[in-house]
Amino acid sequence: MKTPASNGQRIAVFPGSFDPVTIGHASIVRRALPLFDRLVVAIGENSTKRYMFPLEQRLAWLKATFSNLPGVEAISFKGLTADLCVERGAKYIVRGLRNSTDHGSERSIALMNHALRGVETIFLPALPEHAHISSTIVRELIANKADVSAFVPDAVRLP
């Protein structure tokens, strides 16, 4: 359906915490991009969640990581992902699946977003070489002063 916000374009939202963005996230963005005219990579601001990196830092890393991809926009948002989709004229949400645990929880969220706003979720399987990478594990490595440069995009500079 054509909406004023979409201008007839095929738009998708890729929501997440990106605390921090990893090469797994970046791979999903690159693989999803050919399917859409525009991809909005969106950091959800969840006031009850504790993050390792402040929102401004996570957003700056996202923007720097995808600055060479014209179809990608990085933003932050408050509230429901489904509402962001309507606001942005996005009919699709993109999510990555690493394992069956991801699949179990993502399925319910996808069905709820469809029930709420008619938004379809497109799942891309993590590539085998990225299936073990998560922001949680990267944070654990950082907390223990390990080198994470192999798991995060070049734009993510850590002291």
What residues are annotated to the active site? Answer: 25, 49, 98, 135
* Pick 89 or 96: Cβ nearer ligand ADP: 96
Shortest distance in whole angstroms from residue 147 CB to ligand ADP:
18
Rounded-to-integer distance, Cα 74 and Cα 65, Å? 10
* Pick 1 or 47: Cβ nearer ligand ADP: 47
- Furthest C-alpha separation in the chain: 49
The total of other beta-carbon atoms located within 10 Å of residue 11's CB is 22
Minimal CB distance residue for ligand ADP: 24
Rounded-to-integer distance, Cα 90 and Cα 34, Å? 15
CB-based contacts of 94, cutoff 8 Å, min separation 6: 12, 13, 14, 28, 32, 39, 121, 122, 124
Residues that bind ligand ADP (CB under 6 A): 16-18, 22, 24-25, 28, 95-96, 98, 102, 126, 130, 133-135
Shortest distance in whole angstroms from residue 81 CB to ligand ADP:
9
* Pick 3 or 31: Cβ nearer ligand ADP: 31
